[in-house]
Amino acid sequence: MPTPPTQAAASPKTPTPTRRTLLGAMAAATAAPAALALASTASALPGAAQPLPGGGDLGPNVLVFDPSTPGIQAQLDQVFRQQESAQFGTGRYALLFKPGTYSGLNAQLGFYTSIAGLGLSPDDTTINGDVTVDAGWFNGNATQNFWRSAENLALNPANGTNRWAVAQAAPFRRMHVRGGLTLAPSGYGWASGGYIADSRIDGTVSPYSQQQWYTRDSAVGGWTNGVWNMVFSGVQGAPPQGFPNPPYTTLATTAVSREKPFLYLSGSEYRVFLPEKRTDASGPTWGSGTPRGTSLPLGQFYVAKPGVTAATLNAALAQGLHLLLTPGIYHLDRALEVNRANTVVLGLGYATLIPDNGVIAVTVADVDGVRLAGFLIEAGPVNSPVLLRIGPQGAATDHSANPTTVQDVFVRIGGAGPGKATTSIEVNSRHTVIDHTWVWRADHGSGVGWDVNRADYGIRVNGDDVFATGLFVEHFNKYDVQWYGQRGRTVFFQNEKAYDAPDQAAIQDGTVRGYAAYKVGDSVTTHEAWGLGSYCYYTADPGIRQDHGFAAPDAPGVRFHDLLVVSLGGKGQYEHVINATGAPTSGASTTPSTVVTYP
Residues known to be catalytic: 496
Contact 64, 95 (CB under 8 A): no
Q: 28 in helix, strand or coil?
A: helix
Q: For residue 397, what are the contacts with CB-CB under 8 A and spacing of at least 6?
A: 366, 367, 429, 430
Angle at 274 between CA 72 and CA 50, to 5 degrees: 85
Indicate the length of the chain as a whole number.
Answer: 599
CA–CA separation, 494 and 169 (whole Å): 12
CA distances from 273 to 325, 341, 345, 401, 563 (A): 16, 17, 13, 19, 36
DSSP string, 313-367: HHHHHHTT-EEEE-SSEEEESS-EEE-STT-EEEEEEEEEEEE-TT--SEEE-S-
Contact 533, 228 (CB under 8 A): yes
Contact 248, 230 (CB under 8 A): yes
Question: H-helix or E-strand containing 232?
Answer: strand 229-236
Contact 455, 420 (CB under 8 A): yes
C-beta contacts of 356-359 below 8 A and 24+ residues apart: 356/331, 356/332, 356/380, 356/382, 357/333, 357/382, 358/382, 358/383, 358/384, 358/385, 359/332, 359/333, 359/334, 359/335, 359/384
CA–CA separation, 343 and 274 (whole Å): 11
Handedness of CA 70, 40, 135, 137 (dihedral sign): positive
Give Cα 415 to chain centroid, integer Å. Answer: 17
Rounded to 5 degrees, φ, ψ at 12 are -55, -25
Angle at 419 between CA 416 and CA 421, to 5 degrees: 140
Contact 174, 199 (CB under 8 A): yes
In 3D, which of 39, 92, 81 has the Cα closest to residue 376?
A: 92
CA distances from 532 to 472, 544, 593 (A): 10, 22, 12
